[in-house]
Structure 1
Amino acid sequence: MRVLGINALFHDPAAALVMDGRIVAAAEEERFSRRKHGKRPIPFSAWELPELSARWCLEQAGLTPAELDAVAYSYDPELARPADQLGLNDPWDHLRQEYARRAPEFLAEALPGLDPAKVRFVPHHIAHAASAGQASPYPDCAVLVLDGRGECGSHLAGRYANRELAVLGTQSLPDSLGLFYEELTQHLGFLRSSDEFKVMALASYGRPRFLDRLREYVHLEDEGGFRARPVPWSSLVPPRAADAPWTQDHADAAASAQACLEEVLLGLAGRLHERTGEETLTLAGGVALNCVANTRLHRDGPFRRIWVQPAAGDAGTALGAALHVAHQKETVEAMPTAALGRGWSDDELRAWLERADVPYEEPADIADTVADELARDGIVAWFQGRSEYGPRALGHRSLLAHPGYAGNLERLNAVKGREEFRPVAPMVLAERAA
């Protein structure tokens, strides 16, 4: 079965192709359009499709749109309700639903030859769940999905048994851990639905002194699920303008929100473990991009193993939707690698370098050459193979620097144009990885 997965409605538009149960390609539109996140998550952009990444996926398999058996769209407009009924202040959300309903005709126009009757709507959180539970190497696992919103909810808890999903719990809007974190992101002067990772980083410089206040608005509910209502952030800390310096109060607000989020996540994971008895927890949804919270779950939670979809945000629903539809007809294989995106041959790279008049050399042992450069305190741009699926640089598109030299954190942040409080990731030998 040949299934093209599409994420388009909110942000991070992406496409993924599954053929005969095997993942062939997956990539975000931003890797082709060079627009960060592909587009902004506003109702007026909901009609925009990941045309470039979809065409690229088909090219990788030598397929035409007419040869597809199905297109899996990671949102089901039939499950949606008006925003005011969901407790959301989004007066133009009805446009988003209308664009979703018309997705088959939009896709047929973008991909000439596609039969619009082949478009299948997959519930948003089911697509997220499949991107974790069906893509992971563990056919039997628990799955936890947390994000800003789907059709009418913000959370799914379930269990995969031999790749078959049983939904055990959901959370209705307006309660949303993702929206809770987004609102603070905006209050702190960062870009909402984009810069939440900056709040996570800023939290490491603060103390959770507002945690008790936040628990009044965000906490587990005794009967299951959680409550996450709008927090009056201005009563805790003043808002920060985007070009203003951050203060200790801002860092303390970030630390408090991070601690509150982790408390609820641990509680949800504990309940899910009690119900399933599984050793493995798989995670997806934008909240699962919070690597600090994931580390806390691994360290203090009840599960022996945690597997996180690298494209945990909405981009990953393209893959999840495709896997979900394919699994209805055939056995699907686990995600073999995160390097599912675009790559170039050596000849193509040489042509690009020569066209740009960039001097280059081809060392016999590139690892040895790079090690020498790092030892001299140089910064290396490492580019190899296909690009990663998801927002994290996982060794195919990375900047490298020697951690033994003081000041390299600041140097890397300066090179990348990032805030001074942003962290970098460690790189270790495979045999030393836990």
Structure 2
Amino acid sequence: MLICGVKTTHDGGVALVEDGRLVFSIEMEKLGNNERYAKIKDFATVFELLAEHGYRPEDVDHFVLDGWYKTHKVQSWHGQEFEAVLAPYRRGLLDDDLLRAYPNSVQDLPYLSFTHYAGHVASGYCASPFARAGQGSYVLAWDGWMFPFLYHVDGRTRKVTDCGPLMPVIGDSYLQLGQLFAPFDEPIEYPHILGLAGKIMAYIALGEVRPEAVEHIDRTIDAAFHAVLAGRPDDDRFYQVGNGVEILKRIKKSVALAGVEPADMLASIHHALERRLVEGVRRKVAAADLPDRNLVVVGGCGLNIKWNSALRDSGVFGTVWVPPFPNDSGSAIGTACAAMLTRTERVALDWDVYSGPALKDSTPLPGWHQEPCELRDLARLLHDNDEPVVFLNGRAEIGPRALGNRSILAPAGSPKMKDLLNEVKEREFYRPVAPICLEESAPEIFSPGTPDPYMLFDHAVREDWKDRVPAVCHLDGTARLQTVNRAENAAVHELLTHYHELSGIPLLCNTSANHKGSGFFPDVRSAMEWGRVRLIWSDGTLFTRAD
């Protein structure tokens, strides 16, 4: 069966699943240097991507559209407007079945739609190792416009149980509360406001958690919650978008506390929400009393590596897993998975993280020299020159993180490299630079250093390595680690192995290769036009700017 999932709103994307295998997942931002978080502007793009991969619209058994809080969306099709009717954001009005489909059609083309939360839950569970093993799992879904909800998916029956909300705070609260404090109190235009949460998460390393601020935040949240949902705290039908926005408005009015510096206040907000999240999960799991101790984390808040780590370290679960696309970049995959769960016998998705667009052919710019360059030679160049290299290889990563195929790689032995990379990327000084490390060597350098192929957990840099790899050591002594083994990415693993032999260091700095405010470079020429790095390596060829 061929299922085509489509996410039309921000982080727009198209995913094709054939008999349980992900053929491709392409986000609009990764096409032609499009703006970050780009929407699907014309539905013709869906059919163009199908044709590019050898499929026709009539080959598709089910087109599936992701749900949204505005259920009637005006779309364009070759410039002609039409209205698409979508499923709601979290749940329908008729029942509590998360995987209830909303069928419809437009211009004689039938399609399904599932709620936005159904897509998150389905993407996380179906892509997880638990689904492949036939095991059940809890799924924590916390997205921008919704409270965090805990679900349980039975691996045998596919039954999804709603275990209820964890706390009365919608995901957008993190960035909206952060905007009340310097240096984030300047207006940021949509859609780039969507990247603010990541900046706040980095900035809190400059602050200190203040107990009096945490107590004040707790009181403020409780007061706002009871004012809006007084007398109805046990009825989760009231945990809807409108009530969440109203609660947030009330919190924002009084969350500041005199005498607490902005960095400390931001750190305290982060800590207060983290503690409520862990306590909420612990309470719901105890009430559910199910044998499974697996957890999948999805929704935009699944990109918060510190919260993921707190859940991992809580002792509630045996294994915590986060997909590389927990936010809306995985919604096209998710809504396709919802259809797979309800329209086929398959539960587990067969997928690869490098299922994005292939590199486009392009003509090099004048002034660039090119020559063959094996990975061993590139490792020598990195070791001897101590400068960054744009590394473009194969198909792009899916999800928001550069995982080696659309990366800028650089030696980590100098503290100046972090400043250089932030300058090259036009980023703030407090932003961390991630390490990409041989999986087998990670425990020696990081704690815990467990496999983390998608950069989704927090790891402390061990004391005896902080002076050896200062460029990847964040202000609080942690790192957003990516581990790599040969099966996951053979080219990057080989490069790191050669570099390790030369330097004694089994890692490099890794940051995304892109224009500021755009998705990953789609071709070599884009990196040349950007021009902020002198060396570009792509599929065995080294390009060097002549000047």
Same fold? TM cut 0.5: yes
Instruction: Note if 1:127 corresponds to 2:119.
Output: yes
Comparing 131-140 and 180-189, the one that deviates more:
180-189
Instruction: Note if 1:425 corresponds to 2:416.
Output: no
What residue identity is the alignment partner of 2:275? E
Instruction: Note if 1:343 corresponds to 2:342.
Output: no
Judge conservation of contact 1:6–1:318 (CA < 8 Å) in 2: yes
What residue identity is the alignment partner of 1:321? T
Moved over 6 A (4+): 100-104, 219-222, 224-227
What root-mean-square deviation, in Å, do the aligned CA atoms of Structure 1 and Structure 2 show? 3.3
Deviations 1:132-187 (A, max 9, x none): 011112122111100112xxx433311222271413234499x4331211312433
- Give the superposition deviation at 1:32: 1.4
- Give the superposition deviation at 1:119: 1.3
Matched pairs, number: 385
| Residue 35 to residue 328, structure 1, CA distance change in 2 (3 Å) | same
Comparing 383-392 and 399-408, the one that deviates more:
399-408
In structure 2, distance between residues paired with 1:28 and 1:120: 20
| Residue 160 to residue 172, structure 1, CA distance change in 2 (3 Å) | closer
Matches within 5 A, 1:18-167: 18-32=17-31, 34-39=34-39, 48=41, 52=45, 54-55=46-47, 57-75=49-67, 96-99=70-73, 105=82, 116-139=108-131, 140-149=136-145, 153-162=146-155, 164-167=158-161
In structure 2, distance between residues paired with 1:360 and 1:272: 58
- Give the superposition deviation at 1:208: 2.2
| Residue 313 to residue 232, structure 1, CA distance change in 2 (3 Å) | same
| Residue 215 to residue 6, structure 1, CA distance change in 2 (3 Å) | same
Tell me the residue number matched to 1:86.
none
Judge conservation of contact 2:74–2:82 (CA < 8 Å) in 1: no
Matches within 5 A, 1:168-207: 168-171=162-165, 175-187=168-180, 188=184, 189=186, 191=188, 192-207=193-208
In structure 1, distance between residues paired with 2:309 and 2:123: 20
TM-score by length of 2: 0.63
- Give the superposition deviation at 1:21: 1.4
Matches within 5 A, 1:263-274: 263-274=275-286
TM-score by length of 1: 0.79
Tell me the residue number matched to 2:531.
none
Tell me the residue number matched to 1:242.
none
Deviations 1:335-378 (A, max 9, x none): 53211101137xx3xxx243555322222x31442353145321
What residue identity is the alignment partner of 1:15? V
Judge conservation of contact 2:152–2:163 (CA < 8 Å) in 1: no
| Residue 166 to residue 412, structure 1, CA distance change in 2 (3 Å) | same
Judge conservation of contact 1:237–1:250 (CA < 8 Å) in 2: no
In structure 2, distance between residues paired with 1:129 and 1:307: 13
Matched residue SS, 2:328: coil
| Residue 50 to residue 383, structure 1, CA distance change in 2 (3 Å) | farther
- Give the superposition deviation at 1:55: 3.8
Identity %: 26
2:422 is aligned, of 398, 403, 413, to 413
Deviations 1:100-122 (A, max 9, x none): 799994579xxxx9865421110
Tell me the residue number matched to 1:286.
300
In structure 2, distance between residues paired with 1:190 and 1:377: 38
Judge conservation of contact 1:211–1:256 (CA < 8 Å) in 2: yes
Unaligned runs of 5+ in 1: 40-46, 81-95, 239-247
What residue identity is the alignment partner of 1:269? V
Tell me the residue number matched to 2:520.
none
Unaligned runs of 5+ in 2: 86-104, 227-232, 443-449, 451-547
What residue identity is the alignment partner of 1:141? S
Judge conservation of contact 2:20–2:350 (CA < 8 Å) in 1: no
